[in-house]
Amino acid sequence: MTALEKATGDVVFKFEPFVLHVLCRELQDAQLLHSVAIDSGFRNSGITVGRGGKITMAVRSTHCLEVPLSHKGRLLVSEEYIEFLVEVANQKMEENI
């Protein structure tokens, strides 16, 4: 809170989703991993095949959070709301694990 009160610009509370990149030897391996990821709830997962034939499977969660807290140094939310955001972000971290 002390750092937030001293801020002169815009401050955003941001929680990034889990991302795991896996290099696969065969497309079938990537497809199997993709199916497992989707079935496990990682709905933003996908397969990329590069120009050189490199096959990458990305396991991505949807657990993101981005909330503005201040604008031009003016606090927009209460300390209670920030504590709530931290709890929500920690829950999302547990879901990632």
pTM as predicted: 0.69
Alpha carbon 27 to chain centroid distance? 26
Domain locations along the chain: 1-16+63-96, 18-62
Among 78, 95, 89, 90, residue whose Cα is nearest residue 14: 89
* Phi, psi (degrees; rounded to nearest 5) at 64: -120, 160
Average pLDDT of adjacent 10-residue blocks, the chain of 97 residues: 89 92 96 95 93 94 90 93 95 84
Following CA atoms 79, 84, 85, 90 in sequence, which dihedral angle do they give, to the nearest 10 degrees? 130
